[in-house]
Every structure is written in structure tokens, then in C-alpha cells.
Amino acid sequence: MDKSRHLRKAYIVLFVVTLIFIFGISVKTPWKSIPPPRENLDTCPFQISDQTITPLNNTKHLLVSAFMDQRVKGFDIRIISIFRRDSIQTLYCLFCCAGQLSNTTPATVLVHSDHFSFPFGATDVMCQIPPKCEATHVTLLTHPNDVKSLNPNWVPIRNKKTEKKENNKFQFDFTVCISNLFGDYNNVLQFAQTLEMYRLLGVDRVVIYNTSCGPELNRLLKSYSDEGFVEMVPWPINKHLKPSRGWHVTEHGGDLHYYGQLTTLNECVYRSMNRSRYVLLNDIDEIIMPYQHDNLKSLMDMLQKQHPKTGVFLIENHIFPKKHFEPSRRFNLPQWKKVPGINILEHIYREDPQRNIYHPHKMIVQPRMVEQTSVHEVLKNFGERYKVPLDVCRIVHVRVALQGHLKMEQLNIDKRLWDFNEKLISNVDKVLKKVGILGSEQQM
């Protein structure tokens, strides 16, 4: 029985193969199937990277994401990457065009000027798509004719023209880009308060690059990401390099500045390019706070009307030292006693920046007007930049004091956060209960 069934199957297969042979029907290899034999490389892509960080074969470099970007003449694609700066060789772009391999085109490698002398640095690889190619995926080669030996790992091209946005409206008004969570960072209370503060100010999406984090914070972030407010991007940079925990190569060592912060900020700008009106580039312990408006939308409506050609708005950073507590302790709430992390409502004393030394900003940008960004300034942009006045907007940054010698009396009292306290407290309680960080004592 079994044997005859096999025999019948074999005959059918033979018959179909003969038919194909006779009528010349070509069978297209479906995506994600086993790579075709090496001598038969006429369909693609063979192997699509499903990782955020893709090593480039035969080099020391890492590819992150490829984006359509036709703002600079002569280029179509920007591949956000991390390159080893002392080992840059000539590279060639290879495209997958509607299932067919393209000819190679020369790649232009642009290492960002901010690399802080680390061996690896944020890098853009610029490519031109050859004529008549409907490019879907891209990869780089070290030799123009070495397609066969390379078995390339393809990167999908994002922000393509086909992803239409309806009647010129963006999916989001405001996206916050948070770079690089690492170690066992578990500052849950400040994280929840900050995310809820962003929401009250009108932020629609928070993108977070995650190498690792503490257990409670992980639970909190899983919940926010299930809900869609937070977009977690895996960032396993430690699997590929020895990332530095700092920004100073001789002091902190390592291959790459601050877990690749410069690359993730740029990746986030491009990820947001066609879907978010504005992008806020700040850290998770920082809140870009309007002081004359209830929310970011009315702030930006005003600023943009006053400065129509501006795409980069610089916001001054202000430190609220965590060692000084507001004396009445009215926000030292009993339900938060066992939640790990800083309670930002308790820190109302603000340092005056030392303006005689360098004083950093963070930014609100229109991503479409940014080509390359660093942490405190953009490196290449279109349009103008504007320093937003302090009384209009500043950053509330609760952290270790920057000028630790200052006494409480020498600091400014700033209770701007308290204007949001009712909603903020109730929203933070809600999310902490949802993930089981609050209310567990009562049940035990």
C-alpha cells in the first residue's frame, strides 16, 4: 500500500517536471526558502536579516537599517551602520529588484564626525539604486563581482514611497527617542512617571533601544509595549562589540561610545521620518517641559509659526538634584515606598546652569529636516536651528547634582511638575497596579 502510494507520487512529480521542462514554465523560488544553489543566483533575497544589527560579511562593520532617502542629490538609500573606522574599504551596493539581482553601484561611506575617538562609529552608507530597479532589499559587497561567494544577508529598505500617508497627515505628532537601555537599570518609578508625563504632554510614541534592563522595569516596559505606546527595539550590541558605558574612550574604554547611542538616535530619526511630525531626542530621565503651554502641540504650533524655516529646536537642560527633597514631603506617597526608583515629584530644586562652561541642549526636531544627529546637536540638517527661550520650554532633569557644592538655598524652586500631579499620580498608580508592582502587599 505504502510503497505504491510513493510510486504514484514519484510518477506525478516526474510528470509535472516533464511538463515544466516542455512548456518552459519557470518556477520562482519563494522567499525564505532554502537558498538556491550558488550557480543559480538569479532570484533574491536569499536570506533576509531579521535582526536589528546585521554583521557585514568579510568586514568588521555592522549594518542596522536601510531607509529610502532622496533628499541629497545622487543618492537614494541611506544605510544606518556602525563602522570600524580604521578598516574602511571600498564597498558596493547590491539591490534586490522585484526578485532579481541588480548590478552593483558604488557605496559612499560617511562616518559621522562625532565618534569620540572610539574605534567604531555611527556611519551612513549612501547608495544609488540602478535604473529600472524596484528595490526592496539592499546589501553591500567588498568586490563588485563577488556576488556568488558572499551569500549576503539582505536588509529590507524602509520608508519607501509605497507606504502612503493619508491626506498629508502623520500617524504621530510627537515621538520620543530613548537611546540605549543597558545594565540592570531598574529605575521603575521615574520611568513610569516620565512616560506618563510624556503622555500628558501629548507624546504618541516612545521608541526605546533595549540591550538589557532590570526585572521590574522589564515588566513595566512589556506592558507599555503591548499597549503600543512604547516601541521596544532590541539592541544586542554587546553580542557584536565591547560597548562602552561612557563617552570618554581613554577613561571608559570599549569599542563604541555609550552602547551605540549615536547610531540608535539616528536610526530613530529615520524610523520616524515618514510617520511623526516631530521627534524629541532626550534621555529617559529628562522631560522636555513647556512652561507656557499645557502640551507640546500648542508649544510647537507657536514656535513653528514664529520660526517657519526651523527644523531643529534646542531646549536647555536643567538639573534637579535628587539629593534635595521638597520639605513638606507631600508627594512621598505611601503606595510608592516599595517601588524602586526616584520620585520626580519630590525634587523641586533646580540648579542654575554654569553658562561660562559648555551647557548642553536636547532637541525637538522635524525628522525630515535632519540628515545626521548627535546627542546635543544635529551634525547635518536642512533649514534653520533655534534656541528656545528658557521661559518657554526647558528640560526637567532629575538626577545626581551637577554642582554638588550648591546648598538648597542657592537653587531655584520650580514646581512645574506639580501642575500635572493629579493626573500623573493616578496614571502612574494605574500602570504600576496593572503590572503587579503596586498593590501586591495588600494581597499578601
Among residues 246, 381, 375, 393, the alpha carbon closest in space to that of 310 is found at: 381
Indicate the residue among 58 and 304 with the shorter CB distance to ligand NAG: 58
Q: Select from 68, 195, 269, 288 the one that contacts ligand NAG (CB under 6 A).
A: 68
Half-sphere exposure in the Cβ direction for 386 (13 Å, CA): 21
57 belongs to the binding site for ligand NAG (CB under 6 A): yes
Indicate the residue among 96 and 299 with the shorter CB distance to ligand NAG: 96
Residue whose entry in the numeric block shows the C-alpha cell 540592570:
184
Indicate the residue among 237 and 428 with the shorter CB distance to ligand NAG: 237
Please give the C-alpha separations between residue 231 and each of 174, 221, 386, 390, in angstroms, as whole numbers.
13, 9, 29, 30
Determine the interface stretch with ligand NAG among 62-70, 289-297, 311-319, 333-341 (rule: CB under 6 A): 62-70
DSSP state of 34: P
221 belongs to the binding site for ligand NAG (CB under 6 A): yes
Determine the interface stretch with ligand NAG among 151-159, 310-318, 322-330, 422-430 (rule: CB under 6 A): 151-159
d(CA 168, CA 181): 34
Q: Select from 81, 105, 153, 179 the one that contacts ligand NAG (CB under 6 A).
A: 153
Provide the residue type at 49 as one letter: S
d(CA 335, CA 429): 8
Residue 122 CA to chain centroid, in angstroms? 13
How far apart are CB 1 and ligand NAG at their closest, in Å? 43
Binding track over 250-269 against ligand NAG, x by CB under 6 A? --------------------
Q: Select from 8, 145, 163, 390 the one that contacts ligand NAG (CB under 6 A).
A: 163
DSSP string, 103-165: --EE-EEEE-S--TT-SEEEEEEEE-PPTT--EEEEEEESSTT-HHHH---BEEEES-TTSPP
232 belongs to the binding site for ligand NAG (CB under 6 A): yes
Q: Dihedrals φ, ψ of 298, to 5°?
A: -70, -30
368 belongs to the binding site for ligand NAG (CB under 6 A): yes
Q: Select from 161, 329, 355, 407 the one that contacts ligand NAG (CB under 6 A).
A: 161
151 belongs to the binding site for ligand NAG (CB under 6 A): yes
Residues lying near ligand NAG in the complex (CB under 6 A): 57, 68-71, 151-153, 159, 161, 163, 210, 212-213, 218, 221-222, 225, 232, 273-274, 368
